[in-house]
Amino acid sequence: MDDPEGHTENMIETAVEAVTVDDALYAMPIHTDANALYYRSDVLEEYGYEPPETYTELVETAQDIMEQDDEDWNGYIWQGGTNEGLTIMWLNWLWGMGGTVEQGEEIVVNSEEGVAALQHAVDLIHEYGITPGHVPSSETDGNRETFQQGNTLFMRNWPYAISLMNEDGSEVQGRFDVAPLPTHEDHPDAANSCLGGWNVFINAFAQNAEAAQEFATFMSSTEAQEIMAFEHSRLPVRRELYEDEEAREQFELLGVFEEILDRTRARPAIEGYPTFSEIVYTQANTALVREKTAQDALDDAQERIDDEINE
């Protein structure tokens, strides 16, 4: 893909790097993405809590409010079903504990940190009691809908949820806020938010490649970036919008997400990523529903990874 007038020069580097191979741009970034912690700001203020910065603080805050309040609260909801969301959740916790799956030339999931990350997820449901039992069958937008009903304290989700939850008629309109994901207390500076984002590709066999190029260029423009940010809470890829005072007024959480973007990591850059993810979320889910222990689930995942990816 061409880059007329250097449209990517003032973009977030990671967004451009994600679509660049051997110095060639293969797509035009149109918005970036990052996981964040959503929380009921009104309820935390009522009980005197700041947004939690560690896993332990999140658990203790949720437990305390759930115990004191007469409301039947969900403490913390997250993506736990057999889908990509669970793989990302596990990576969030793994990275937050200082772990990684890339160990030399091998992909390793059953490390000490990997098992601890999955055990933490299991404990949120079965030990700490702050994550409801339906989470092992949940997905991203289902969580957003649950949080929007007004009986959930914490949720992990993407920025798109902001505009939807602030629409007229939403039970949480103006009653929630966003913070960086908590980390393990031993790794306060961990980059544990997963990088996402959308890009425009042009099919090599496109009959209207020139028109497609014009569309891709427009979607990368400041005008289009503002529309997506202000009306749909999509994170801009253009750096100047994060520095623009008017943009911050229009999208009040832009500054928070700028901080979160500094704490993102990309998913493992491996050729067989779809296979890797399917293995992880399938086996991790068996631990969430207590069909297997966290150790056994990730040992079984590792066996498949060694056969299908580390060969």
pLDDT by residue (tens digit) across 15-50?
Answer: 888 888 888 888 999 999 999 999 999 999 999 999
Task: Of 270, 285, 277, give the one whose Cα is nearest residue 102.
Answer: 270
pLDDT for 19 equals: 87
Mean pLDDT of 233-244: 93
What is the Cα–Cα distance from 251 to 261, expressed in whole angstroms?
15
pLDDT for 167 equals: 95
What CATH class is the domain 4-34+194-265?
alpha beta
pLDDT for 203 equals: 92
pLDDT for 299 equals: 98
What is the Cα–Cα distance from 168 to 186, expressed in whole angstroms?
41
pLDDT for 95 equals: 98
Mean pLDDT of 208-231: 93
pLDDT for 22 equals: 84
pLDDT by residue (tens digit) across 130-168?
Answer: 999 999 999 999 999 999 999 999 999 999 999 999 999
pLDDT for 63 equals: 98
Cβ neighbours, 10 Å, residue 43:
18
Here the contacts of 249-253 (C-beta below 8 Å, separation 24 or greater) are 250/226, 253/159, 253/162, 253/177, 253/178
Is 44 within 8 Å of 51 (Cβ atoms)?
A: yes
57 vs 268 pLDDT, higher one: 57
pLDDT for 1 equals: 61
pLDDT for 3 equals: 60
pLDDT by residue (tens digit) across 76-124?
Answer: 999 999 999 999 999 999 999 999 999 999 999 999 999 999 999 999 9
- Amino acid in the structure at residue 277: S
pLDDT for 2 equals: 59
The first and second tokens of residue 13, run together, are 């580097």
Does the pLDDT at position 242 exceed 60? yes
> Mean pLDDT across the chain, nearest whole number?
94
**Residue boundaries of the structural domains of the chain:** 4-34+194-265
For the chain, the distance separating the N- and C-terminal CA atoms, rounded to the nearest angstrom, is 33
For the chain, what's the residue count? 311
The DSSP code for 31 is E
